[in-house]
Structure 1
Amino acid sequence: MLKYRKQIFLGQFFKLIEAILELMMPVAMASVIDKGIALGDKSHIFRNVGIMFLLAFVGVCCAMVCQVVATKTSVGMSGEMRREAFEKINSLSAQDLDSIGTNSLVTRMTIDINNLQDAMAMLIRLVIRSPFIMIGSIIMAIILDVKLSLVLLITTPLVSIIMFIILRAVAPKFSALQKSLDLLSRKVNETISGIRVIRAFSREESLVDSFDESSKFYADFALNTGKITSLLSPIVSLCLNMAIIAVLMLGAKRVQLGKIELGIVIAFIEYLIQIFLQTAVVANLVLIYTRAYASAKRVEELMDTKPSVSDKFGIKKGDFIPKGNTSLISFKNVCITYPDGKPALQDISFSLNKGESLGIIGGTGSGKSTLVSLILRFYDTTKGVVKFCGEDIKNIPIEELRKRISFVPQRVSLFKGSVEQNLKLGNNNASKKDMEDALNIAQADFVYELPGGLKYNIEESGRNLSGGQRQRLTIARAILKPFEVIILDDSFSALDLSTESRLRRALKKSLGDRSCIVVSQRISTIMHADNIIVLDNGVCVGMGKHDYLLKHCEIYKELYITQTAGAEYA
Structure 2
Amino acid sequence: MALGFIIKFTGTIMDLFLPWILSYLIDVIVPREQISEIIFFGVLMLLCSLAAWGGNVLANRMASRVARDTTQALRHDLFAKVFSLSCRQVDAFTVASLESRLTSDTYNIHQMIGMMQRLGIRAPILLLGGMAMTLFLEPVLALVLLAALPFVGFVVFYISRKGIPLYSQLQRAVDSMVRVVRENTSGIRVVKALSKADYEKGRFAGVNRAVAARETKASVTMAASNPLMNFFLNLGLTLVVVAGAFRVYGGETKTGAILAFLTYFTIILNALLSINRMFMLYSKGAASARRIGEVLDAPEDLKLYPPDHKETGFHILFDRVNFSYHAGRDTVRDISFALKKGETLGIIGATGCGKTTVLNLLLRLYDPDGGSIRIDGDDIRSIPFAELYARFGIVFQNDTLFADSLEENISFGRELERRAVEEAVACAQARWFIDELEEGLDYRLTIRGANLSGGQKQRVLISRALAARPEILILDDASSALDYQTDARLRRALHTRFQGTTTLIVAQRVSSIRHADHIMMLENGRIIGYGAHEELLKTCAPYREISEAQMGGEAV
Q: Shift of residue 41 of structure 1?
A: 4.4
Structure 1 segment 131-280 matched on structure 2, within 5 A: 131-280=124-273
Q: Shift of residue 44 of structure 1?
A: 3.4
1:458 counterpart SS class = coil
1:126 to 112, 119, 122: 119
Q: Shift of residue 15 of structure 1?
A: 1.1
Q: Shift of residue 533 of structure 1?
A: 0.5
Q: Please say if residues 329 and 388 of structure 1, whose CA atoms lie closer than 8 Å, have aligned partners that are also in contact.
A: yes
Structure 1 segment 451-490 matched on structure 2, within 5 A: 451-490=438-477
Q: Equivalent residue for 1:363? A: 350
- 1:482-541: per-residue Cα shift (whole Å, max 9, x none)? 311211000011112222122111122111222211110111111111110011111110
Matched, 1:43 2:36: yes
What is the number of residues matched between the two proteins? 555
Q: Equivalent residue for 1:3? A: none
Q: Shift of residue 567 of structure 1?
A: 4.9
Q: Please say if residues 141 and 268 of structure 1, whose CA atoms lie closer than 8 Å, have aligned partners that are also in contact.
A: yes
Q: Shift of residue 39 of structure 1?
A: 5.9
Q: How far apart, in 1, do the equivalents of 2:33 and 2:458 lie?
A: 89
Q: Shift of residue 40 of structure 1?
A: 5.1
Matched, 1:60 2:46: no
2:500 partner letter: D
Q: Equivalent residue for 1:538? A: 525
Q: Shift of residue 321 of structure 1?
A: 8.7
Q: How far apart, in 2, do the equivalents of 1:566 and 1:348 lie?
A: 30
Matched, 1:557 2:544: yes
2:378 to 384, 388, 391: 391
1:420 counterpart SS class = helix
Q: How far apart, in 1, do the equivalents of 2:500 and 2:223 lie?
A: 72
Q: Please say if residues 226 and 276 of structure 2, whose CA atoms lie closer than 8 Å, have aligned partners that are also in contact.
A: no
1:444 partner letter: A
Q: How far apart, in 2, do the equivalents of 1:231 and 1:354 lie?
A: 71
Q: Shift of residue 450 of structure 1?
A: 2.5
1:87 to 80, 86, 103: 80
Q: Please say if residues 177 and 221 of structure 1, whose CA atoms lie closer than 8 Å, have aligned partners that are also in contact.
A: yes
1:410 counterpart SS class = coil
Q: Shift of residue 381 of structure 1?
A: 1.2
Q: How far apart, in 2, do the equivalents of 1:553 and 1:373 lie?
A: 26
TM-score w.r.t. the length of structure 2 is: 0.95
Given the superposition, is the C-alpha separation of residues 443 and 38 from structure 1 closer, same or farther in structure 2, using an over 3 Å criterion? farther
With 100-109 and 43-52 compared, the bigger mean Cα shift is at 43-52
Matched, 1:307 2:300: yes
Given the superposition, is the C-alpha separation of residues 46 and 437 from structure 1 closer, same or farther in structure 2, using an over 3 Å criterion? same
Q: How far apart, in 1, do the equivalents of 2:33 and 2:159 lie?
A: 50
- 1:235-263: per-residue Cα shift (whole Å, max 9, x none)? 23333443443333332332233322222
Q: Please say if residues 521 and 530 of structure 2, whose CA atoms lie closer than 8 Å, have aligned partners that are also in contact.
A: yes
- 1:206-244: per-residue Cα shift (whole Å, max 9, x none)? 111111111111111110111111122222333344344
Q: How far apart, in 2, do the equivalents of 1:451 and 1:252 lie?
A: 88
Q: How far apart, in 2, do the equivalents of 1:395 and 1:93 lie?
A: 16
Given the superposition, is the C-alpha separation of residues 195 and 39 from structure 1 closer, same or farther in structure 2, using an over 3 Å criterion? farther
1:431 to 417, 425, 429: 417
Q: How far apart, in 2, do the equivalents of 1:47 and 1:243 lie?
A: 35
Q: Equivalent residue for 1:5? A: none
With 482-491 and 334-343 compared, the bigger mean Cα shift is at 334-343
1:418 partner letter: S
- 1:89-112: per-residue Cα shift (whole Å, max 9, x none)? 111222221111001111122222
- 1:131-156: per-residue Cα shift (whole Å, max 9, x none)? 12101101101111122223312322
With 183-192 and 447-456 compared, the bigger mean Cα shift is at 447-456
Q: Shift of residue 126 of structure 1?
A: 2.0
1:309 counterpart SS class = coil
Q: How far apart, in 2, do the equivalents of 1:34 and 1:195 lie?
A: 75
Q: Equivalent residue for 1:283? A: 276
2:37 partner letter: H
With 15-24 and 252-261 compared, the bigger mean Cα shift is at 252-261
Q: How far apart, in 1, do the equivalents of 2:207 and 2:436 lie?
A: 45
Q: How far apart, in 2, do the equivalents of 1:449 and 1:202 lie?
A: 35
Q: How far apart, in 1, do the equivalents of 2:164 and 2:78 lie?
A: 25
Q: Equivalent residue for 1:492? A: 479
1:355 partner letter: G
Structure 1 segment 269-418 matched on structure 2, within 5 A: 269-312=262-305, 326-418=313-405
Q: Please say if residues 309 and 377 of structure 2, whose CA atoms lie closer than 8 Å, have aligned partners that are also in contact.
A: no
Q: How far apart, in 2, do the equivalents of 1:566 and 1:426 lie?
A: 47
1:435 partner letter: V
1:203 partner letter: K
Q: Please say if residues 149 and 233 of structure 2, whose CA atoms lie closer than 8 Å, have aligned partners that are also in contact.
A: no
TM-score w.r.t. the length of structure 1 is: 0.93
- 1:430-463: per-residue Cα shift (whole Å, max 9, x none)? 2222211111111112222234222222222112
2:335 counterpart SS class = strand
Q: Equivalent residue for 1:4? A: none
1:288 partner letter: L
Q: How far apart, in 1, do the equivalents of 2:450 and 2:134 lie?
A: 68
Matched, 1:514 2:501: yes
Identity of aligned residues (%): 34
Q: Shift of residue 9 of structure 1?
A: 2.0
Q: Please say if residues 177 and 207 of structure 2, whose CA atoms lie closer than 8 Å, have aligned partners that are also in contact.
A: yes
Q: Shift of residue 328 of structure 1?
A: 0.9
2:7 counterpart SS class = helix
1:31 partner letter: Y
Q: How far apart, in 2, do the equivalents of 1:567 and 1:266 lie?
A: 107
- What's the Cα RMSD here? 2.0
Q: Please say if residues 335 and 383 of structure 1, whose CA atoms lie closer than 8 Å, have aligned partners that are also in contact.
A: yes
Q: Shift of residue 269 of structure 1?
A: 0.7
Q: Shift of residue 359 of structure 1?
A: 0.6
Q: Shift of residue 37 of structure 1?
A: 5.4
With 522-531 and 243-252 compared, the bigger mean Cα shift is at 243-252
- 1:291-341: per-residue Cα shift (whole Å, max 9, x none)? 2222222122111212322322x56xxxx9996x82111111111112232
Q: How far apart, in 2, do the equivalents of 1:248 and 1:359 lie?
A: 90
Q: Please say if residues 362 and 536 of structure 1, whose CA atoms lie closer than 8 Å, have aligned partners that are also in contact.
A: yes
Q: How far apart, in 2, do the equivalents of 1:369 and 1:359 lie?
A: 12
With 262-271 and 444-453 compared, the bigger mean Cα shift is at 444-453
Question: Structure 1: where are the runs of 5+ without partners?
Answer: 1-7
Given the superposition, is the C-alpha separation of residues 405 and 171 from structure 1 closer, same or farther in structure 2, using an over 3 Å criterion? closer
Q: How far apart, in 1, do the equivalents of 2:29 and 2:198 lie?
A: 74
1:346 partner letter: R
